[in-house]
A and B are shown apart, each in its own frame.
Chain A
Amino acid sequence: MNREYLIEANHIKKYFPIKAGLLSRVIGHVKAVDDVSFGIRPGETFGLVGESGCGKSTLGRVVLNLQRATSGEVLFDGTNIHQVNRQENLKLRRDMQIIFQDPFGSLNPRFLVSDIIGEPLRVHLRASAKEIDERVVELMSLVGLDPSRRNRYPHEFSGGQRQRIGIARSIALSPRFIVADEAVSALDVSVQSQVLNLMMKLQKEMGLTYLFIAHGLNVVRHISDRVGVMYLGKMVEIARTDDLFAQPLHPYTAALLSAIPKPTPHRRQERIVLQGDVPSPANPPSGCRFHPRCPMAQERCSKEIPELIEVGQDRQVACHFPLA
């Protein structure tokens, strides 16, 4: 069967209860992700951008079933990931992996690098010690680490090398889909480009599909085929990367893109400086969530929630008065 999407998320909501008082009464909800739908095609890199707190990581975790959605469904290769038996679930957990931002925090400091990379093999494949060791050597070479250092601790490696350890671990079971959550955000630009090159190389060689979450827009632009823009729990625009950067349709996307400092001193450009702060996701504004800060807002914007609708080939926007 020829499916368009490898990953399909439909009407995902993830609400976190806010508790207060001695009895921990629920007094409200943080609407971290609020009715988001999108799909990722096989072999593509889907970039997810937006300011911190807008729900990118939560959406990533829900898509991987590391966190249960409040409502909505996630399909992986056509299978609803919430409705699988134990065996199918194990298979899914091999097919879907995550790389985190902080390689130090996500790697157990008391495990040797060979244990860290080999753990998924031990858990999922019940491979022998010798088989695991061979595979660890192979994986370390693949990600550009010196395999002779496999019996060392993560703190003996540099930031970029630790990120490679995290990548080696994530590809150990030959997954099909990887969520990279701010995977290169903490790295210096020279090391960042090394890790990005590695991720692009692995994608080609292994046919990987990426959900690439980052707040660094230059990086997202470089690596992504399509980009989704989130604001306060909502997906506000989805487009092919070149289209989005050439002509943003949502006023928030336009403001976000214009805020990127460009490494070209001759073009210090006029930018759209947004006023005020992002409102709290516990108490989002009515209608369009961007309306209190939107330079284009009209009366209708505070009353009606704009749906994410198709406005062109491969192009969706959630705005009553999109830019053109």
Chain B
Amino acid sequence: MERNILEIKNLTTCFFTDDGTVKATDRVSISVGKGQTVCLVGESGSGKSVTSLAVMRLIDYAGGFIQSGNVMFHGQDLAAKDLDEMMHIRGNKIAMIFQDPMSALNPVFTVGDQIAESLMLHQNMSQQDAFKKAIEMLRLVGIPAPEVRVKQYPHEMSGGMCQRVVIAMALACNPEMLIADEPTTALDVTVQAQILDLLRRLQKELGMSILLITHDMGVAAEMADRIAVMYAGTIVEEGTVERIFDEPRHPYTIGLLQSIPGFEGERGGELYTIQGTIPSITQLPTGCRFHPRCPHAIDKCRKEEPILREVVTGQQVACWLNEDVSNHFRNNQRANSIAGSKAEVNRQ
């Protein structure tokens, strides 16, 4: 089997707050193989961004720190690097793009200067070469008339164009790993389609690995080889895209999928809902973090926390039902899928 480019192992991240130190992610493990796209999905506040910031060690600048765990990248542990070393790895071998392209662009420099700068820093290019490469990168990401655009400022471009510039900037140094945190969330679907197409094309051409964070299961279905589902700071399910969509086993994953106003389901009917809301990291429930919202919770769920383990090849789940009564649960789950969810709605 091919080796993983990135292996996040039991990553626990904390923030210093007024209430003391709080854990934002707890023993998170995610692996990304070469040329693979792994999608990290989950509701807002579940710890997706914190995970990506921890991998990049940007968490150190956001009032947080890695408490334990490893971030293995090419056999080196990024979690143990000092910040100067990280500065060199960041933007060079691993690049990151964020939801808001404007936050990554400096309004007072032309986009050409900004792309060239990182090339001069990381690749020791001359200014002239760097500028040439910047034009080439803009062309690569599908910006028309790159010779003109390279001299423009971010405010002279639309949101979609700016996100392309950010991608050009991130890819300029040929990173092996791209971490993209909701890169299309702020964009219209038509522009999103352009950007996702672009990422797919560039991945094929450059052989890059991608960790794509999204809250949109549709985007995940379209992009992912594997999917990791996050809830309240932990990974609750992980598997190939087919397994997650065809045979989700964690009640939270099942709920997320059923809540999507479906193309298949009955239009205008009552939608499936997961009752309640995601807990705050300062007030996590005991046992399984999902138990107050889980329609299948049993007594054990309130007391003991289930850990993520492989239940079938290519699929890991953190849920007691999948350990003790997995067959019973699976059969039930199939029979119930939509009909059962309606009953849940009524019971609430």
The reply to whether the CB of B242 lies closer than 8 angstroms to some CB of chain A is: yes
The reply to whether the CB of A217 lies closer than 8 angstroms to some CB of chain B is: yes
Query: Are A193 and B268 in contact, with the CB atoms below 8 A?
Result: no
Option from A160, A217, A241 in Cβ contact (under 8 Å) with B267: A241
B325 to chain A, nearest CB (A): 25
Query: Are B257 and A263 in contact, with the CB atoms below 8 A?
Result: yes
Per-position contact with A for B234-277: 1 when CB-CB < 8 Å, else 0? 00000001100100000000011101111100011011111001
Query: Are B241 and A194 in contact, with the CB atoms below 8 A?
Result: no
Which of chain A's residues have a CB closer than 8 A to the CB of B263?
Answer: 218, 221, 262-264
A157 to chain B, nearest CB (A): 10
Q: How many residues of B contact A (CB 8 A)?
A: 45
Query: Are B222 and A262 in contact, with the CB atoms below 8 A?
Result: yes
CA distance A15 to B189 in the complex (A): 26
A 129-169 contacts with B by CB, 8 A = 158, 160-161
The reply to whether the CB of A255 lies closer than 8 angstroms to some CB of chain B is: yes
The reply to whether the CB of A6 lies closer than 8 angstroms to some CB of chain B is: no
Question: Which of A63-71, A95-103, A271-279 is the interface stretch?
Answer: A271-279
Query: Are B260 and A218 in contact, with the CB atoms below 8 A?
Result: yes
Query: Are B270 and A197 in contact, with the CB atoms below 8 A?
Result: yes
Query: Are A197 and B273 in contact, with the CB atoms below 8 A?
Result: yes
A 169-191 contacts with B by CB, 8 A = 188-191
Query: Are B272 and A273 in contact, with the CB atoms below 8 A?
Result: no
The reply to whether the CB of A35 lies closer than 8 angstroms to some CB of chain B is: no
A196/B261 contact (C-beta < 8 A), A188-B43, A263-B217, A264-B221 known? yes
Option from A189, A268, A278 in Cβ contact (under 8 Å) with B222: A268
CA distance A194 to B274 in the complex (A): 8
Tell me the total A-B contact number using a CB cutoff of 8 A. 118
B272 to chain A, nearest CB (A): 6
Option from B158, B160, B189, B261 in Cβ contact (under 8 Å) with A215: B189
Option from A192, A256, A259, A268 in Cβ contact (under 8 Å) with B259: A192
The reply to whether the CB of B161 lies closer than 8 angstroms to some CB of chain A is: yes
Query: Are A190 and B259 in contact, with the CB atoms below 8 A?
Result: yes
Q: Which 7 A-B pairs have the closest CB atoms?
A: A261-B218, A222-B261, A193-B271, A259-B193, A51-B188, A188-B43, A190-B274
Known: A264-B221, A276-B144. 12 other contacts (CB 8 A): A51-B190, A188-B44, A188-B278, A189-B217, A191-B43, A222-B261, A259-B190, A262-B222, A262-B263, A265-B222, A273-B197, A277-B160
29 contacts between A and B (CB under 8 A): A52-B188, A188-B215, A189-B260, A194-B273, A196-B271, A197-B270, A197-B271, A217-B189, A218-B218, A218-B263, A222-B261, A222-B271, A256-B189, A259-B190, A260-B189, A261-B189, A261-B192, A261-B193, A262-B221, A263-B221, A263-B245, A264-B263, A265-B241, A268-B221, A268-B222, A271-B193, A273-B197, A274-B193, A274-B194
Residues of A within 8 A of B (CB): 51-52, 158, 160-161, 188-194, 196-197, 200, 215, 217-219, 221-223, 241-242, 255-256, 258-266, 268, 271, 273-274, 276-278
